[in-house]
Amino acid sequence: MSIAPTTPKRASKRVLPGFNLTLGYTLLYLSLIVLIPLSALVLKTFTLTWEQFWAAVASPRVVAAYQLTFGASLIAALVNVVFGLLVAWVLVRYPFPGKKVVDAMVDLPFALPTAVAGIALTALLADNGWIGSLLAPYGIQLAFNRNGIVIALIFISLPFVVRTVQPVLEDMEKELEEAATCLGASRWQTFRHVIFPTIAPALLTGFAMAFARAVGEYGSVIFIAGNMPMVSEITPLIIIGKLEQYDYAGATAVATVMLLISFVLLMLINALQAWQRRRSGAQS
């Protein structure tokens, strides 16, 4: 059994004055910026009958696109959990010349127009690009297929993992690790039992944000994907394709499905995080 936190209950003295006012403002702002635009999207799909809706969102091409979008985003987010953690670790723990520059570089995918990322990656990875031309003789093709999509998604979602893990690593008390070493723990045991539980919630948050960002990505992917139906078409491209046919309702139907899946996934990850926090809170 863990010991319940024993913070003494204070009289409801809040830092911000006028709680009702600020809550009201928050709800209004969220409604205007997020809720109303999204409900407009859902309303537009209501112009379809149930059969039309189903035909629009469940055709083989569209289902293949969902699988690709969520699958590639999952792979990209997982890759970034490992390598983003590594980048954050190096940036926090080791001094080296040019560290400030490297640190700033992590944010580049944030700020860069995604189309620029797409063009740059394609130029690099196409069969006549710097990297692509080295791999082409071995039959490895990175651009214009699913590999290209995953690479583009890894690129644009990297900062999310690094930037959520970095501050937690910085705040970690060195004494804990020293104590672990004094008690005879190996490096691996220290990582597993001391470091990892501390950064796990941040890592999970970073993963969720990277995943969400990748699911919504359009600009960089269309340049590198090859955009073949059933093979390398991401869902946002399906939406654009439907708009090109002036099929507004069909496009919003697919968009609504995306919205729903993303929302459910984010809720799941939130719940997972809450569980993780409770667990690690109980341990310390």
Partner 1 sequence: MHLKQKTKLALAVIALAASNFVAAQTTLLNVSYDVSREFYKDINAAFIANYKKTTGKDIKIDQSHAGSSAQARAVNDGLDADVVTMNTTTDVDFLAGNGVVAKDWTKKFPSNAAPTSSTMLFLVRNGNPKGIKDWDDLIKPGVQVVVVNPKTGGNGRMAYLAAWGSVRAKGGTDAQAAEFVAKLYKNVPVLAKGGRDATTIFLQRNIGDALITFESEVVSVDNEFGAGKVDAIHPSSSIVAENPVAVVERTVAKKGTADQARAYLNFLYTDEAQEIAAKHAIRPSNPAILKKYASTFKPIKLFTAADYFGSFSEAQKVHFNDGGQFDKLYTVK
Q: Which is nearer to partner 1, 118 or 159 (CB)?
A: 118
| Shortest CB 56 distance to partner 1, Å | 7
Residue with tokens 């809450």: 274
| Shortest CB 55 distance to partner 1, Å | 7
Q: Which is nearer to partner 1, 55 or 116 (CB)?
A: 55
Q: Which is nearer to partner 1, 175 or 244 (CB)?
A: 244
DSSP string, 11-68: PS--SSS-HHHHHHHHHHHHIIIIIHHHHHHHHHHTTS-HHHHHHHHSSHHHHHHHHH
Both structure tokens of 118: 């797409």
| Shortest CB 225 distance to partner 1, Å | 9
| Shortest CB 112 distance to partner 1, Å | 19
Residues sharing a CB contact under 8 Å with residue 248, sequence separation 6 or more, in sequence order: 44
Burial class (CB in 10 A: 0-12, 13-18, 19+), 239: buried
| Shortest CB 224 distance to partner 1, Å | 10
Task: Return d(Cα 130, Cα 132) in angstroms, integer.
Answer: 6
Task: Return d(Cα 26, Cα 28) in angstroms, integer.
Answer: 5
Q: Which is nearer to partner 1, 48 or 92 (CB)?
A: 48
| Shortest CB 48 distance to partner 1, Å | 13
Q: Which is nearer to partner 1, 147 or 227 (CB)?
A: 227
Q: Which is nearer to partner 1, 84 or 129 (CB)?
A: 129
Name which of 208, 189, 198 is nearest 263 in CA terms. Answer: 208
| Shortest CB 146 distance to partner 1, Å | 13
Write out the residues near partner 1 by the rule CB under 8 A: 55-56, 59-61, 122-123, 126-129, 143-144, 222-223, 226-230, 237, 240-247, 250
Task: Return d(Cα 217, Cα 68) in angstroms, integer.
Answer: 12
Q: Which is nearer to partner 1, 55 or 78 (CB)?
A: 55
| Shortest CB 237 distance to partner 1, Å | 7
Q: Which is nearer to partner 1, 87 or 126 (CB)?
A: 126
